[in-house]
Structure 1
Amino acid sequence: MSYGYGAYKKTAVSTASKEQILLMLYQAAIKNCKKAIEAIEAKQIAKKGEYIGKLQDIVIELNNSLDFEVGGDIAKELSSLYDYILFSSSQANMKIDAEPLHGCLNVLNTLYEGWSEAIKSLKAAPGGTTEEVKK
């Protein structure tokens, strides 16, 4: 990675809103899930483990950031989905099988789309602000 690109990425993250960071995390999780699937299909075992590890790190961070007092049942449901992703990606890693990752990818895409729409709706609402968005 060149210095310029690294500096750009660091600035993009440090100046992003909480909502933008949430979407960036989902995008990165989706990207690593896709790359893990490709690595399994290409029989690149080391790369598979690397991408699944990155995917799991992101999902663990998302899970750790949940606020169960504020989020209530939604936070519990998200935690269950994150547990599913962690379990399925572990199965994919151990069995060198891409199929469980396809389920993870479906969940991640659905969550990303849902959060994107929720954030857009809040911004579009009269007097709306994305500061109200909580995980």
Structure 2
Amino acid sequence: MAINNPYAAYQQNAVTTASPGEVTLMLYNGCLKFIKQASLAIDNKKIEDKNTNIQKAQKIILELMVTLNMDLEISKNMAVMYEYINHRLTEANVKNDGSILKEVEGLVIEFRDTWKQVIQINRQQQHRQGGQA
């Protein structure tokens, strides 16, 4: 169906040509989008939409968890944080609590922004190494 929908084709191409770091960044951004949509659904008393969007955010958090390299100490710490976020998303869903979503959104923003910095530092290091060859 991508042929009939240029935006879908673009999105598919963006994902398939992205580096693993860029895919992680896309996952964080997607998670934030679904958290915001869930929050809006709570405000508008659209319980089904809230549930759907929270579940989408949780699927992204679970995907981030399973891709962690558990040989690294930082990954073990991230796993604990992802578990916490997943638990809080469940709580927000059950309680229809937008304040919990706001808390989780703040954590995901911090992770995303830190990840952006990691990508930028990596690119700078690769660029410097490429210039010395």
Find the structure with the greater CA-based Rg: 2
Alignment of 1:30-41 (within 5 A): 30-41=32-43
Q: State TM-score, norm by structure 1.
A: 0.88
Q: Tell me which residue corresponds to 2:28.
A: 26
Specify the alignment match of 1:75 in structure 2.
75
Unpaired runs of at least 5, structure 2: none
2:63 to 58, 61, 64: 61
Q: Please, what TM-score do these two structures have when normalized by structure 2?
A: 0.90
Instruction: State the Cα RMSD in Å.
Output: 1.4
- Superposition deviation, residue 92 in structure 1: 0.5
5+ residue gaps, structure 1, are: 129-135
In structure 2, the residue matched to 1:112 is 112
| Misfit runs of 4+, over 4 Å | none
Partner in structure 2 of residue 6 of structure 1: 8
Number of aligned residue pairs: 126
1:49 counterpart = 2:51: yes
d(CA) in 2 for partners of 1:26 and 1:97?
Answer: 21
Q: 2:20, 2:45 → 1: CA distance?
A: 37
Query: Displacement, 1:28?
Result: 0.2
Post-superposition offset of 1:63 = 0.2
Quote the Cα distance in structure 2 between the aligned partners of 1:103 and 1:82.
Answer: 13
The sequence identity of aligned pairs, in percent, is 32
Note the C-alpha offset of 1:83: 0.6
SS of equivalent residue, structure 2 residue 92: helix
